[in-house]
Structure 1
Amino acid sequence: MNAKPNIVFIMADNLGWGELGCYGGGSLLGAPTPRIDALAAQGLKLQNYNVESDCVPTRSALMTGRHPIRTGCLQHAPAGLPHGLTRWEVTLPQLISAQGYATAMFGKWHLGETQGRLPTARGFDEWYGIPRTTDESAYTSTFGFDPSVVDLPYIMEGKAGSDCRNAKLYDLESRRTIDEELTRKSIDFIERQVAAERPFFLYVPLINMHYPTLAHRDFSGKSEAGDYGDCMMEMDHRVGQIVDAVDARGIADNTIVVFCSDNGPEFRAPWRGTAGPWSGTYHTAMEGSLRVPFIVRWPGRIAAGRVSNEIVHVTDIFTTLATMSGATVPTDRPIDGMDLSAFFLGAEKSGREGFCFYLKNELYAAKWRDWKLHFYWMPEVNDMKGKLESPYLFNLKRDPKEQTNVGAANAWTGGPIRKMIRQFQLSFNQFPNTPPGQPDPE
């Protein structure tokens, strides 16, 4: 058996906190999720795992351990416009690959579409998936679509050392079948590495639950919640297939399996999801945007059935998985992620007190212990109330919906929260933030 643990990291797209059975949804919402629920029972379930405002910033934070305000990965850009991680950034697969791991990614990248910024130039040995966002699958079916002025969306593939190429058109039919393809390729990769007796890092950013929610035809009509529920059941099944591949090949005890979401739920009808007890959706600073599901299993090392409300941030996953693989994180730049390996393995506290939450270039909120201080108030997407002269303060345990401002009665919290913000922002002076669209260094 390999001394180094294998890592399988599966990430859903826009899956809200309250949609899985193990987080209060599942059958209650007409779409049971037995395989993911079982995974949660076998490991650690986090109730306070926090991400960024949407796909691009969260994925950049995962890949670099750095807040997106530092890397310039602030939001999605349409095809053909400059975006993504500069090649100066050091990615998680680069660190893990340097430890002798085989690395593969099957799924959505969203961190740069030009050669040199695609996954196989950023640490992955192989990739199959989409470079940008899933809603592009609907473009070619949209009334008035003009391919002469819009780049056609493609599923791409490639291997390290050569340019990625277009594999096939990403249209609505491809949308239906892509998660099946990603799962099949993931299982094949696992089998190859087990046969080669080589440790591996497998990153599977699935397409579900991003709109348009079109399930594989094998799952059409399976739920009691329409297309959305059908996709939920398909996603659960795909996760189960990958977990089964790990278990069937006798590597479960030496494999860290993670399942999580990149963002809070979708806000657009008819695809709107739910954050359970929390308010809001992604693209806001509400708790429903920040908190998403996170489950990690490592039999014999991570206790089964454990549940924690300790604060964990997506940047922490970069540092923690790097440490678990034997890698050392960069020391020539601010790394915001904390090493939480001791916490995952049984320590009671994560050690994280809080974090700053930016939406694009603006500090919208700061979360500290059980408190959230809002500087801008936008409870729903596009329902902007503006910058607050007197910030709103909420206690998240007593007021999970963030409805009652208790700032006047708890002014003492301003001291530690603003000290945390000041310490974070002072680092911008020594290490200037990368602006969006920054070209790669020569």
Structure 2
Amino acid sequence: MNVYLSTLPILMLLTTSFMVQAQQAPPNVVVLLYDNLAYGELGSYGGGALRGAETPRIDRLADQGLRLTNFNVEAQCTPSRSALMTGRFSIRSGTYKVPTAGAPDGLTLWEETLAEVLSTRGYATGMWGKWHLGSEASRFPTQQGFDEWYGVARTYDEVMWSASDEASGLTPAMGSRAGWDEGLTPVQYIYSSTRDNPPVKVKKLDLASKRTLDGELTDKATRFIKRNAEAGKPFFAYVAFSLPHMPTQPNPAFAGKTGNGSWADSLAEIDARAGQVLDAIKDAGVENNTLVILASDNGGEATYPWQGANGPWRGTYFTAMEASLRAPFILRWPGNVPAGKVSNEIIHITDLFTTLVHAAGAQVPNDRVIDGVDQMDFFTGKQAGSNREGFVAYVADRLSAVKWRNWKLHLIEQEQMFDPPIPLGLPRLHNLLTDLREEHNIAIENTWALPPMMALVGRFKASLQQHPPIASGTPDPYLPDRSANQ
């Protein structure tokens, strides 16, 4: 008998098995999350040169994939990052506002993060940058599913403002000539940590270390990508950059690069750092099997001289205005997501959790409410529309607005973050296709739109009744009261 013929069925079986395994290989996931990058900063969103610095690498990324014009986040940094990590509106998780320094804060360990779920599928998980979901070591990223982390636990508002920094041009605050008083307010640190091991304080978070932080985050993330690509291991890389969060100061290598000031220099650095990560993915030979998301956690900065450019939208973050909720979003996955597509369909940041979990072949937790919906069929062009028609918008623990299709209903009036929130006796309705700046209340002539919007509110409030939210500052160990669901 011909030896070749006798072994042919076995060879065909092995080849078929290999092809099936290759087709089912889970994609690598890279999330580039910028901090308070406003809707109108990037060239692909009408900014770029108009803001003093072109953004060619990010604009090219947009051409290679999907760009959304109606990607929605939550009103503050902590809530948005919580929603991304858990797929749950932050009001459910007790993470609905930026925590005050010294107060208990963060996700309870009962929550299941995106990193934890992807780990069940054998992913290497790494994070670099701002966590903002737990100030204590027991709630750091490496206790929440990440294999490694380098970054800050809290925020960049705490960069020792009172200390002078000649390089940044910022001087000591009045009455603080001696610098930051560590006896009154503890210094924040940049940490390094690996899974389940005690974190290491690498250096103080100050004006100088913030300037160089994004370069460090990029270097560590690109080495992680290379290492895991060479090992043939799927990876989840979450790069939470510091820019352009105030104080908006570029790395010294970018200072003066544009000739248009620190903001433009920072925008040039934002683009360059994205390019470095994209180059690392390509150089590692995994570009075609890597799903890349570039987004922002909030609308633009609201404090002079670091105000962001929010494009056509009015208001600031820490409100339910469109300038707060709409953020840039670009998705590239070669061979899966059509290139050059632009869509105004509604997507919420919670949807990324569910979509990425399913893309990895993992299971969404079924023992809790998950608000995110799977958008992969929409992202890949298998269907024309989003699987989401709208959502409720909380600002801290205040239900402030509802978005539904192209309509927006305000329940609380607050345009700027420093304005007092004023409950409205009658809700204010806007058509966001004809009234981008939310200036004209057309509720009287469009009462037909109110029932479906208020029904959305009713369903959400009912879910909070059935599944009571976790109180802010709840300590571990935490377990939900299942009797409340009966």
Q: TM-score, normalised by structure 1?
A: 0.98
Q: Which residue of 1 aligns with 2:134?
A: 112
Q: Which residue of 2 aligns with 1:72?
A: 94
Q: Distance in 1 between matches of 2:458 and 2:159?
A: 42
Q: Which residue of 2 aligns with 1:389?
A: 425
Shift of 1:139: 3.2
> For residue 346 of structure 2, what is the amino acid of its counterpart?
I
Runs (4+) off by over 3 Å: none
Q: Which moved more, 1:419-428 or 1:69-78?
A: 69-78
2:240 to 195, 205, 225: 205
Shift of 1:385: 5.8
* Secondary structure of 2:417's aligned partner: coil
Q: Which residue of 2 aligns with 1:361?
A: 397
Q: Could you give the per-residue CA deviations for residues 119-147 of structure 1, whole angstroms, max 9, x where no partner exists?
A: 00000000000111012124351432310
Q: Could you give the per-residue CA deviations for residues 417-438 of structure 1, whole angstroms, max 9, x where no partner exists?
A: 0000000110111110111111
2:303 is the alignment partner of 1:268: yes
> For residue 53 of structure 1, what is the amino acid of its counterpart?
A
Q: Distance in 1 between matches of 2:333 and 2:373?
A: 20
Q: Distance in 2 between matches of 1:210 and 1:90?
A: 27
Q: Which residue of 1 aligns with 2:220?
A: 185
Q: Which residue of 2 aligns with 1:304?
A: 339
Q: Distance in 1 between matches of 2:474 and 2:109?
A: 10
Q: Which residue of 1 aligns with 2:443?
A: 407
Q: Which residue of 2 aligns with 1:91?
A: 113
> For residue 419 of structure 1, what is the amino acid of its counterpart?
A
1:104/1:417 CA distance change after superposition, 3 Å: same
Q: Distance in 2 between matches of 1:385 and 1:170?
A: 33
Q: Distance in 1 between matches of 2:322 and 2:144?
A: 32
Q: Which residue of 1 aligns with 2:409?
A: 373
Q: Distance in 1 between matches of 2:373 and 2:476?
A: 27
Show the 5 A alignment for 1:311-330.
Answer: 311-330=346-365
Q: Which residue of 2 aligns with 1:131?
A: 153
Q: Distance in 2 between matches of 1:427 and 1:260?
A: 29
2:273 to 238, 248, 251: 238
Would you say the 8 A contact 1:56–1:111 is kept in 2?
yes
Q: Distance in 1 between matches of 2:432 and 2:31?
A: 29
Would you say the 8 A contact 2:160–2:187 is kept in 1?
no
Would you say the 8 A contact 2:296–2:329 is kept in 1?
yes
Would you say the 8 A contact 1:48–1:309 is kept in 2?
yes
1:337/1:385 CA distance change after superposition, 3 Å: closer
Q: Kindly report the root-mean-square deviation, in angstroms, between the aligned alpha carbons of the 2 structures.
A: 1.2
**Structure 1 unaligned runs (5+)?**
none
Would you say the 8 A contact 1:259–1:296 is kept in 2?
yes
Q: Which residue of 2 aligns with 1:332?
A: 367
2:387 to 328, 338, 351: 351
2:40 is the alignment partner of 1:18: yes
2:68 is the alignment partner of 1:46: yes
Would you say the 8 A contact 2:317–2:416 is kept in 1?
no
Q: Distance in 1 between matches of 2:226 and 2:162?
A: 36
1:55 to 77, 82, 85: 77
* Secondary structure of 1:218's aligned partner: coil
Shift of 1:78: 3.5
Q: Which residue of 1 aligns with 2:167?
A: none
Q: Distance in 2 between matches of 1:79 and 1:345?
A: 42
Q: Which residue of 2 aligns with 1:220?
A: 255
Q: Distance in 1 between matches of 2:473 and 2:91?
A: 13
Q: Which residue of 2 aligns with 1:169?
A: 204
Q: Distance in 1 between matches of 2:276 and 2:222?
A: 8
Q: Which residue of 1 aligns with 2:13?
A: none
Shift of 1:4: 1.1
> For residue 265 of structure 1, what is the amino acid of its counterpart?
G
Shift of 1:204: 0.2
Shift of 1:392: 0.6
Q: Distance in 2 between matches of 1:80 and 1:287?
A: 31
Percent identity between the aligned chains? Answer: 48
* Secondary structure of 2:85's aligned partner: helix
Q: Distance in 2 between matches of 1:121 and 1:104?
A: 12
Q: Distance in 1 between matches of 2:455 and 2:100?
A: 37
* Secondary structure of 1:217's aligned partner: coil
* Secondary structure of 1:235's aligned partner: helix
Q: Which moved more, 1:219-228 or 1:343-352?
A: 219-228
* Secondary structure of 1:207's aligned partner: coil
Q: Could you give the per-residue CA deviations for residues 234-288 of structure 1, whole angstroms, max 9, x where no partner exists?
A: 0110000000110112111100011000000011000000110111121111011
Q: Distance in 1 between matches of 2:267 and 2:76?
A: 20
Shift of 1:224: 4.6
Q: Which residue of 2 aligns with 1:288?
A: 323
2:197 is the alignment partner of 1:155: no
Q: Distance in 1 between matches of 2:240 and 2:260?
A: 23
Q: TM-score, normalised by structure 2?
A: 0.89
2:463 is the alignment partner of 1:441: no
2:50 is the alignment partner of 1:32: no
* Secondary structure of 2:285's aligned partner: coil
Would you say the 8 A contact 2:230–2:284 is kept in 1?
no
2:463 is the alignment partner of 1:417: no
Q: Distance in 1 between matches of 2:150 and 2:247?
A: 20
* Secondary structure of 2:150's aligned partner: strand
Q: Distance in 1 between matches of 2:268 and 2:448?
A: 46
> For residue 363 of structure 2, what is the amino acid of its counterpart?
T
Shift of 1:149: 1.7
Q: Which residue of 2 aligns with 1:8?
A: 30
> For residue 373 of structure 1, what is the amino acid of its counterpart?
L
Q: Which residue of 1 aligns with 2:166?
A: none
Q: Which residue of 2 aligns with 1:101?
A: 123
